[in-house]
Amino acid sequence: MAPPPRGAGRLLAERGWYLSAREQQEEEEEEEADEDGESAPLLPPPLGSVRNPPNPGSSFGFSVFNLMNAIMGSGILGLSYAMANTGIMGFSILLLIVASLASYSVFLLLSMCTQTAVTSYEDLGLFAFGSTGKVLVATTIIIQNIGAMSSYLLIVKSELPGAVAGFLSGDESGFSNRSWYLDGRLLLLITSVCIVFPLALLPKIGFLGYTSSLSFFFMVYFALVVMIKKWSIPCPLPLHSAIETLQVSNSTGDCKARLFHLSKESAYAIPTMAFSFLCHTSVLPIYCELQSPSKSRMQSVTVTGIGLSFLIYFMSALFGYLTFYDKVDSELLQGYSRYLPHDTVIMTVKVAILFAVLLTVPLIHFPARKAVLMVFFSHLPVSWICHILVTLTLNTIVVLFAMYVPDIKNVFGVVGSTTSTCLLFVYPGLFYLKLSREDFLSPQKLGACALVIFGICVGLLSLVLIIFNWINP
């Protein structure tokens, strides 16, 4: 076994994970047994410790639920727009590729986890490339989490005014210029200051872990409503829309679905999909809590969770696209706000999504703040002052992004093509190439190499096309 990289020895020493030659040999035998489908523990016991009765851990079904809860988020609102710009078949092929590669990259992470006995993405970066790798992974997670929180708060900015107007039985367009309670930016600021920031300040936010699980059921509810409401909005779209009346076409040609479609907006498709399937920072903690943990068992959890998420994503994207066709908005709920502004079911969906957002954003603050403290303030003792200042800074950055970014597709595009592709494709492949003891021509290393190349090429190409689209709208 190759010696650990510089800086990794202290990490192992702190956790009591130095292994003798005999223990290393036993670990390798357990890995081989695990490849044959037998159960292998994630972490070796500390040297000289007495084996305790194993923790029963989380069941298979509950682990699948936790993984799906980590996967599904605001990305579901942008997939119909991605389908409109790639076609039904093109979207299906791309979504299947991204989902399959996400599952494969999780397999690589699990393989490295059994070799290094670490339980966090940052520590894998430490093992692979020393302190530089750890800082790089932590910085990527910070940017990714800021993008995720911004996408959630963009939903608040765009949907909360319509929800308020609907409850008041008023016309949103008629009051937006004179009513403060229909100003999306002001409502965003109020909810961030009064709800998001206080919850994010809490030292422990475990109770929100249970309530935020409701967000998964809200996403499923959203998908079901999208499927049902496909028959509530006629096609061609009605011309008496209260918003952008002159830009709405009533041509029957607009009601034909495209199997394949390519345009400059197609550059947002794969980044949005990568953003939607990113769950890799949660995989290792879920693995640790799994009942009878093994690589094969956790991989089954991953395949099941990603497969069910794929199904929900695809059905909501398909029926959202078949409802609005080429007129679909980059944030799907905006179309329903336009054509069904006072529909009771749509109102319940808006409230459910907004509730999920306001409980999920504080949770995303926690890993982002942890990464900031680890990168920039690791030399300082933990204090309330530092805790408050970092939380306030992160919250301010996120609110400013949400206020002034004009479209949610920009968040999906930029964050998805950079940090999401790195965490989803590039880093797992690079870490496996660095840490695995297999021959370079082995199938797994060739697959890891292909994963890295795919992530870099797709990420760079998408980012260049998105920037070009900004320059030449």
Residue 263's pLDDT is what?
84
Most confident of 116-125, 166-175, 445-454: 445-454
Residue 126 scores a pLDDT above 60: yes
Angle at CA 351, nearest 5°, toward 350 and 357? Answer: 90
Give the Cα separation of 124 and 133 in Å (integer).
8
Looking at 85-99, 225-239, 249-263, 380-394, which range is the least confident one? Answer: 249-263
Residue 442's pLDDT is what?
83
Q: Using only C-alpha atoms, what is the Rg of the chain?
A: 23
Structure tokens at 408: 């949610």
Q: How crowded is residue 140: how many other Cβ atoms within 10 Å of its Cβ?
A: 22
Residue 231 scores a pLDDT above 90: no
Residue 212 scores a pLDDT above 50: yes
420-461 confidence digits (pLDDT tens): 999 999 999 999 999 888 887 888 889 999 999 999 999 999
User: What's the sign of the alpha-carbon dihedral 274, 279, 283, 285?
Assistant: positive
Domain extents for the chain?
59-244+252-471
**Cβ-based burial of 56 (10 A; exposed 0-12, middle 13-18, buried ≥19):** exposed
Architecture of domain 59-244+252-471: Up-down Bundle (1.20)
Residue 167 scores a pLDDT above 90: no
DSSP string covering 232-252: TS-SSPPTT-SSSGGG----G
Structure tokens at 76: 């579901």
